[in-house]
Amino acid sequence: MKNDIIFNLIKVHQRIESACRIAGRNPEDVQLLLATKTVPAEQIRIAIEAGETLMGENKMQELRDKNDVLKSLPVERHFIGHLQTNKVKDVLKYVTCIQSLDRINLADELHKQLQNQNRKLDVFVQVNTSYEESKFGLAPENVLSFIKKIKTYETLNIKGLMSIGLLDVEKEKMIPSLRLLRTIRDEIYSEGIEGLQDLKLSMGMSQDLELAIAEGSNMVRIGTSIFGNRFLGKEIWNENIAE
């Protein structure tokens, strides 16, 4: 298992570097985030000890259950799944970034809890660029107004935009939803909003990381290509599937 994970990490980094080279980008501008939904803590430890420093969880319970193994390791933990407001207080015990901010009541609850803790938190705004019912996230046309609202929350540091692109066997069908996230970011830039001129794009998974990098992704969230297929036929990107 250890050798498999390390080998897979090498292959993924090679894919990232190759995609950057083809796109004329610096590989240092693209981070690898370990997508660790259902991955046992000991397997995550192998990847961290191999040099990975960034991971993302989809469920609060997994953050809690894996904490004893991971808390002393040099890894930054993000929350990348749909976050219910009643789980905010617990999730904040473990993460430094929420990548799935997609509604005002969630921003309100984050702001309240962060005020109580006298701290700030990095956030990405999640956008449903593929307009699929199986995915959470803001409608693309609502992102700019949402960004302007949450910009007033002094506890939230807006770091970028996150999306799960359309996954299809035909690459031509996958590109528009990835390109749309970059377009939205550029629209935000055109507004000249103070502090929002260096937004990162978190998009791209095992199936589409090359396409995402070509469209400007700064962070790819990779699970299956590193840890294997853990879902036995389930669709990892269908956020409405109960675990």
| pLDDT score of 236 | 47
Helix %, strand %, coil % for the chain, to 5?
A: 45, 15, 40
Looking at residue 239, its pLDDT comes to 53
DSSP symbol at 204: -
- Mean pLDDT of the region 181-204: 96
Where is average pLDDT lowest: 76-90, 163-177, 225-239? 225-239
CA distances from 49 to 54, 82, 175, 191, 225 (A): 12, 28, 34, 42, 18
Q: What is the pLDDT of residue 232?
A: 46
Burial class of residue 23 (count of CB atoms within 10 Å of its CB; 0-12, 13-18, 19+) = middle
Mean pLDDT for the stretch of residues 4-22: 98
pLDDT tens profile 61-116: 999 999 999 999 999 999 999 999 999 999 999 999 999 999 999 999 999 999 99
Q: What average pLDDT does this structure show over 131-137? A: 94
For the chain, counts of helices (H) and of strands (E): 9, 8
pLDDT score recorded for residue 7:
98
* Predicted pLDDT of residue 169: 80
Instruction: Identify whether the C-beta of residue 222 lies closer than 8 Å to the C-beta of residue 55.
Output: no
> Could you give the residue ranges of the DSSP H alpha helices within the chain?
2-23, 41-49, 60-70, 88-91, 104-117, 143-150, 171-190, 209-214, 224-227
Q: Compute the distance between CA of residue 123 and CA of residue 58 in angstroms, rounded to an integer.
A: 15
CA distances from 82 to 86, 92, 126 (A): 12, 14, 9
pLDDT at residue 168, rounded to an integer? 84
Whole-prediction pTM: 0.93
From the list 127, 122, 149, the residue with the least C-alpha distance to 139 is: 127
